[in-house]
Structure formats: C-alpha cells, structure tokens
Structure 1
Amino acid sequence: MPLMPEEPQIRESVPGPRTGSANGRTAQAPRPVPAPGPRPAAPRPVPARTASRATHPGPGRPGASRSAAPAQPRAPRETARIELIPASTQTALDAADEVVDRLLDAGRTPGDILVLATGDPHPWESHELSFGEESYWRQHDEGGDVFYARAGAERASRRAVVVLAVNGGTDEAAAQALPSALERAAAELIVVGDPERLRALVQPRRTPGGERH
C-alpha cells in the first residue's frame, strides 16, 4: 500500500530535474517494482507499434523500386547524338579514317568504335576477311580494336560510337543503313557522306498521288 502514493511522484520526477540525486535514486528503485504491473507494460507495446509502423515503409520500398523500374526502358529511347561529315562517295572512307583518328585522340578507346560502309568494304575489312570469317568475327567479339564491317552486317553489335561511311551502294541500301547504324550507336553516330544525298534519303518520298512514304 505505501507504494501507491509514490507512483505519481515517479511520474513527476521524469520530466523535471527538480528532485535531488537522492530522489533520482529512489525514483529508480520503485521502477522495477511496478514493472510486473499492467501500467509499465502499457508503454512497452507503444515502441513495439512504432517499430511495426517503421516496418510498414519497408514493403513500400519495393513499390518505390517498381515505380523506378519503368525508368529502365527510357535508356533505349535516348537517341545517340548525330553528326554529319561532308564527303563525296569517293572520299567517304578516307574521311571516316580521319574521324576515327579524331575519336582516338579525344580519348575514345578502339573498342568503342564501329565503322560501317554502304559501298565497297574498308581495306581493313578486306584484309582481315582474307584470313577467314571466323578470325574476322573473333576480333569483333573480343571488342579490343576498331571494327570495320558492311552496313548490312547483322552480326555487328552495338558500340558507343558508330561511323557510317556512305561510300556507295543503292539509295535503298543507304536509306536502310541510316536507322540501322543509329540503333547500333549507344552515344554517337557520325555519318560521312554527301549531304544532299543524305538529305534526300531521310526526307519522306512522295508518290504520284501525293502520299508520303
């Protein structure tokens, strides 16, 4: 029974430091006494509830990750930067070699660069193919050097920079090479060719009835 009047004294001593050190010690002594009682047990579920509430945002994190998941398809939507280097059909390959030298001087690694030709193959491609296609494509798969291929080569994979040399071929083949090269370019597409011809290739063609294709 004498413990009952001490309970309000314990509650008053918690917020205020007015009691002396002796009172603080006596306040600590009775705390274990009411511990078995239901009153001290009441505050214990409170931290448990707050802890459970803290766990509720946990399942929300996967939801946040799911909301961030649609951001992954945005990467392919970003198109590479396109640059046009004027050159004639006869000088397109030489101009492409100069572009490669410029890229290497700017810090690009050789494995970052893919050179495609719409007309005659690059001399490097012809030389490497003389040793067989297996050896030729092995160098492509290793990805340690600049790789030269035909614009229609389906096996040529995506690289950071694609240099498209429009050095011949039919207009239809050159028109198909442009979007194909753009898909292979992760960061930059450099088109080397006749600007007037390229402009005519990318512009929609009109049929006699006036419809665009």
Structure 2
Amino acid sequence: VPRTPQAAPAAPSVSAAVPQIQLIPASAEGALDAAEEAVDLLLDTGRAPGDVLVLTTGDLHPWAAHELSFGEAAYWAQHDAGDDVFYADAAQAARASGRPVVVVAVNGGPASAAAAVLPVALARAGALLIVCGDPKEINSVLGAGV
C-alpha cells in the first residue's frame, strides 16, 4: 500500500496568516539593546505592552532574571495575565502563548539556539516577528527552517 506523504508539522494551515518578518542587524552583544529599541518603538507607536513577547537566546533579559528570582509561579502568572511585555528564554518559547508581536534577540547561547527558536517564534507571532541578530545566521535559519 503506497504511503501518502504528510505535510510538515511547521506548515501553516491555509487559513493562518503569515506574520511579517523584520530583521534588525545586530551583533550578539548588541542584540538585546536592539530588541529593547524595537520594543520601545512598538510601544511608542501605540502597540499595547501585552501584545509583545521578547525571547532571548543567550543571557536572560534583566527583567526576566529579576522576576524569576521571585519564583517560576509568579513569573508565569505575569505571562498569563498578559498585561505587559513578557521576556523569556528562547528555551521556554514553546511554553509562552502567542502574541501579536514576537521579538527575538539572538544574543548568544548555543549555535543551535536561533535555529531552534525562530520557527517557534514565527508560530507564536500573530502579526509581526522581529529578529535582532546576525543577518547571515538568521537568514540561513529562516530560509531553511521556515
């Protein structure tokens, strides 16, 4: 019996809108600052804070590190409330719910971090995915993985 090929799990459904992707070139050291500037611009142009999820591939954003010092439960309760910009480690991207805008700071971490997080980030982004990092690395991932 011939097997019917199945669609790749990353393929969006026909009705799913594909978010716009914006690349902001930055070094690993400057990616977090670039992400912060992107968030500030989003908020300044009327985007609600609860619409934005920021993921980091290297060091945690200082807000996330601070909030995690109060425990995982309190940290994720803020995520679930959805009232403010939420910052998370890329390794926890799958746990984060979708938001209209996802910003990814490729600020170091293992070489595979960007490849692992970008497809998840794209799936979580409702309207816009902003990626701050090395354009060559990001384009190779987005070209092959998304």
Tell me which protein shows more helix as a share of its residues. 1
Provide the C-alpha distance between the structure 2 equivalents of 1:137 and 1:202, rounded to a whole number of angstroms: 28
Give the aligned partner of residue 169 of structure 1: 109
Give the letter aligned to residue 199 of structure 1. N
Provide the C-alpha distance between the structure 1 equivalents of 2:141 and 2:119, rounded to a whole number of angstroms: 11
**Which of 188, 199, 203 is matched with 2:128 structurally?**
188
With normalisation by structure 2, the TM-score equals 0.85
Q: Report deviation, 1:171.
A: 2.4
Contact 1:171/1:201 (<8 A) preserved? no
Alignment CA distance shift 1:188-1:202 (3 Å): closer
Matched, 1:157 2:97: yes
Matched, 1:99 2:38: yes
**Which of 8, 11, 15 is matched with 1:75 structurally?**
15
Contact 2:118/2:141 (<8 A) preserved? no
Structure 1 unmatched ranges of 5 or more: 1-72, 205-213
Provide the C-alpha distance between the structure 2 equivalents of 1:75 and 1:191, rounded to a whole number of angstroms: 24
Tell me which protein shows more strand as a share of its residues. 2
1:13-57 per-position Cα deviation (integer Å, ceiling 9, x unaligned): xxxxxxxxxxxxxxxxxxxxxxxxxxxxxxxxxxxxxxxxxxxxx
Q: Report deviation, 1:200.
A: 3.3
Q: Report deviation, 1:203.
A: 4.7
**Which of 111, 118, 123 is matched with 1:178 structurally?**
118
Provide the C-alpha distance between the structure 1 equivalents of 2:40 and 2:75, rounded to a whole number of angstroms: 22
Give the aligned partner of residue 65 of structure 1: none
Contact 2:101/2:126 (<8 A) preserved? yes
Structure with bigger RCO (C-alpha 8 Å, 6+ apart): 2
Give the aligned partner of residue 4 of structure 2: none
Higher CA-based Rg: 1
Structure 2 unmatched ranges of 5 or more: 1-12
Tell me the C-alpha RMSD between the 2 structures: 1.6
Provide the C-alpha distance between the structure 1 equivalents of 2:50 and 2:70, rounded to a whole number of angstroms: 21
Paired residues, number? 132
Q: Report deviation, 1:152.
A: 1.9
With normalisation by structure 1, the TM-score equals 0.59
The percentage of aligned residue pairs carrying the same residue is: 60
